[in-house]
Structure 1
């Protein structure tokens, strides 16, 4: 059994099946039977040639949009001149200016993700990976266990993928990979702080059953071996291998053996593409404030009963959500892959559907203005991604809008409202800080931005701006009630032992959480979440 993930740029498609294959170590001893629950980590005793080794069994379906993000990076990696950008080469660990063939292979892969081509990319996931360190030379070895598959007979590309760009200490790393399964057998990789994927070109194999690839890894500078080890096993934690390996097979470079669905799109795959594209868009356009607080679980907050979002949702509920100005968080609680999310549909009345259409058009125009004004902060990818999101949620001009289109248009509207609100708040606070009564200067009680971290969720955002109140409550008291006025007068009369009026929130807004799950989509209201007005109390 094997995973088959197929995407094309603009409407990336994902198709997965669960992989259950026995995991072996390099000497052939079986560690886990095929029916055993997935293994996350395991430590082996040292052998004569290696020290303690860590093996990580990657359960790939627990990382929704992970492969989709890889194919999006490929799709967006070709510049206007039809060549790979230097940023893309660095992102995939290719040494700029080298005479290797890796860049041409990467360009071919990138072009095959283009939606105008029929040939697609096929993906095979190794069932496990073993990292060992040899005592004498300090060289690291990686052993990959591959499931039985005719794809192994093709010319694969081995990709070592990370969830985010690597953290490289002590400068950039020049790394050499050696192995009989590589073609050529020795390949150089340049790793920097912008590298997120390490690409190696493999050779065809006629092997059947379980295939093992053993590859040695070392830096050109021996004293950088520890940095390399940190990258492979996740830095100081050292508890598991941090990268996720996968093999890409090019349709153009393969044989007549096909494992891909490259034409057409189903509602489920379109919805998967939409959710993953929405995640990337929000990551691009939301103001990047990185709080130092410990991430907070959304389910630890007080909530109103969840509201189901589907064809049976009332127009009253949907109209209230469409007109709401509350921040919206897009969460995901399904235990499986994002492709297992229940297919979302809405059934809006014609009047409400027209209102949704108009509001979405206005929000898209407003967002395009924000992107142009904040070009340096937002980045060049935001506008094309907004265009793809709009395509995936466009209503037909003549025929009635399908339930899936209504659903995606609603989610996109809520996302754009949240982003627009974030920038309005950011600009308002900038104007306040520039004014004569700056609350951050301690003059007058007023609202101040406060971003808190949320536990990692699939779509985003992973932070929430809940605001807070700062400043003094000296006379005249801003937004004070009678108690605060009398209390301030009492203290002013010399009764200094009493608590003075404090600058605190006096009005709040709710937070809306859209939760995608196997059984359907729901919206949960978190009341009194965001401070909207300050006063002295």
Structure 2
């Protein structure tokens, strides 16, 4: 059976460049090392899988692809390139990868070379391993396609002495995103170069295979990432400081929270581009960790301000090594009670609203990853995750509460906003996509008229309105505007740790005529 420890590595984008061939029947393409800049003649495409949850999302897709019967669903067979006749064994491999990722290592090849034998219709992929381990148990080679694949269905046979079995069939279609090839466990030293050939059963489909692995034309970009997964690691990440909680646990929590927020929050469509959070005015950031002020944490636990979770930079934030809190017994108990209440509220929202079916299961996994001890003080990492989960659930609950109020306002003919009188109205704006979530925020806005008697008008507005009604029409009339605000709280991860940024006066909470 396969096991997993995820070592986050720099994402790899394959840019195939034509190289001179000694044999005129063989065309060779080379992939520059992920750490070596491409030559000026070769182009480089952006790597969309540089997102922090790239590897975690693969495991989630594997886990979610297995139905209640223990078999892969039809859509999962297509997604992972499994042929139907291998569904049973594929489901076993998939479940093992998804459920035991805490003991698996992920290795990005340092370079990949692709050669095409035109007469035989085969393509050979050679993977250079940057640091082959002395022992590699149950390896799996995962090919990840970021770009749409060739049209039509294509059955490919991958053959190599490094695979077990030596020949494995893969069924690729336009909806295939991943290909899993089970490798042969090593004993003793490991070869630092894997060579695998790919061949189609039908000669006329050779061009489709070439399009998938090399691209439509020589030298074109193809966004495909090879990952080598294997067990046998130590379970630690050397990039985490001594004493830090396991990076894989913190990463799993954040990525699960990202999936949960994407599933449970209403999906908005915006015509305007998202607004980067760093363009907003902010108070000096405060560290979220063992040195955090109890006063700050108490205020945030009881705050109604919406919270956004984001990354300052993608490449340096994983593994997440900065995730501990040291709460007093009283504040820890308050956190536990608040979280329990919000979990009950969230369960009701999932049941009553039209929420994605996977939200309930995702919420259950979040509860497990952030479980606090009942009678003893929780570990620092559990406190950290419980705190973040509370803030996320409070934000989701406020979103649905605002939606319910909006529906009630629309249904009530006597509503002040519906009747044209100055009042608060929901307004959702799009935020930068470099986020765990949410990707939008309800900042509210004020709408309606300011006719006498004025709504929440101050003395200036009353005097101004009287002056205009006396026939002096050359002055600006009182306007319906926000008169009270709430902050937007941002929990941000970067290379130096986890920080809280307060964006003051971001959400309108009260309207008046001014």
Partner of 2:376: 399
Partner of 2:173: 190
Within the candidate set 504, 507, 511, 1:530 is matched to: 507
CA distance in 2, matches of 1:99, 1:113: 19
After superposition, the C-alpha distances for 1:440-490 in whole angstroms (9 at most, x for unaligned) are 767233222222222222422222221222233344432222333333344
After superposition, the C-alpha distances for 1:341-376 in whole angstroms (9 at most, x for unaligned) are 3332111111111111111111111111111112x3
CA distance in 2, matches of 1:232, 1:81: 38
- Going from structure 1 to structure 2, the CA distance change for 1:439 and 1:221 (only over 3 Å counts) comes to farther
Which SS does the other structure have where 1:459 is aligned?
strand
Q: In terms of mean alpha carbon deviation, does 439-448 or 274-283 score higher?
A: 439-448
Superposed counterparts of 1:204-283, under 5 Å:
208-211=191-194, 241-248=222-229, 258-259=232-233, 261=235, 267-283=246-262
Superposed counterparts of 1:25-36, under 5 Å:
25=17, 27=19
Q: Does 1:72 align with 2:60?
A: yes
Contact conserved, 1:122 with 1:259, CA < 8 A, in 2? yes
- Going from structure 1 to structure 2, the CA distance change for 1:143 and 1:441 (only over 3 Å counts) comes to farther
Q: In terms of mean alpha carbon deviation, does 383-392 or 441-450 score higher?
A: 441-450
Q: Does 1:449 align with 2:436?
A: no
After superposition, the C-alpha distances for 1:238-261 in whole angstroms (9 at most, x for unaligned) are 995445443456x7xxxxxx4575
CA distance in 2, matches of 1:367, 1:406: 20
Within the candidate set 287, 308, 313, 1:329 is matched to: 308
CA distance in 2, matches of 1:119, 1:414: 26
TM-score, normalization: structure 1? 0.74
Partner of 1:295: 274
Which SS does the other structure have where 2:173 is aligned?
strand
Within the candidate set 368, 372, 383, 2:360 is matched to: 383
Within the candidate set 450, 456, 463, 1:486 is matched to: 463
Partner of 2:286: 307
> Gaps (5+ residues) in structure 1?
8-12, 45-53, 134-138, 252-257
CA distance in 2, matches of 1:396, 1:106: 38
- Going from structure 1 to structure 2, the CA distance change for 1:240 and 1:290 (only over 3 Å counts) comes to farther
Which SS does the other structure have where 2:272 is aligned?
coil
Contact conserved, 1:57 with 1:127, CA < 8 A, in 2? no
Within the candidate set 459, 470, 481, 2:447 is matched to: 470
- Going from structure 1 to structure 2, the CA distance change for 1:327 and 1:38 (only over 3 Å counts) comes to farther
Shift of 1:428: 0.9
- Going from structure 1 to structure 2, the CA distance change for 1:80 and 1:529 (only over 3 Å counts) comes to same
Q: In terms of mean alpha carbon deviation, does 362-371 or 277-286 score higher?
A: 277-286
- Going from structure 1 to structure 2, the CA distance change for 1:29 and 1:246 (only over 3 Å counts) comes to closer
> Gaps (5+ residues) in structure 2?
20-27, 237-243
CA distance in 2, matches of 1:152, 1:310: 36
CA distance in 2, matches of 1:438, 1:38: 63
CA distance in 1, matches of 2:44, 2:129: 17
Partner of 1:425: 402
Contact conserved, 2:8 with 2:106, CA < 8 A, in 1? no
Shift of 1:113: 3.2
CA distance in 1, matches of 2:220, 2:17: 18
Which SS does the other structure have where 2:437 is aligned?
coil
Within the candidate set 487, 490, 509, 1:513 is matched to: 490
Partner of 1:106: 90
Shift of 1:432: 1.3
CA distance in 1, matches of 2:114, 2:275: 33
- Going from structure 1 to structure 2, the CA distance change for 1:450 and 1:43 (only over 3 Å counts) comes to farther
Name the Cα RMSD after superposition. Answer: 4.6
Q: Does 1:160 align with 2:144?
A: yes
Which SS does the other structure have where 2:318 is aligned?
helix
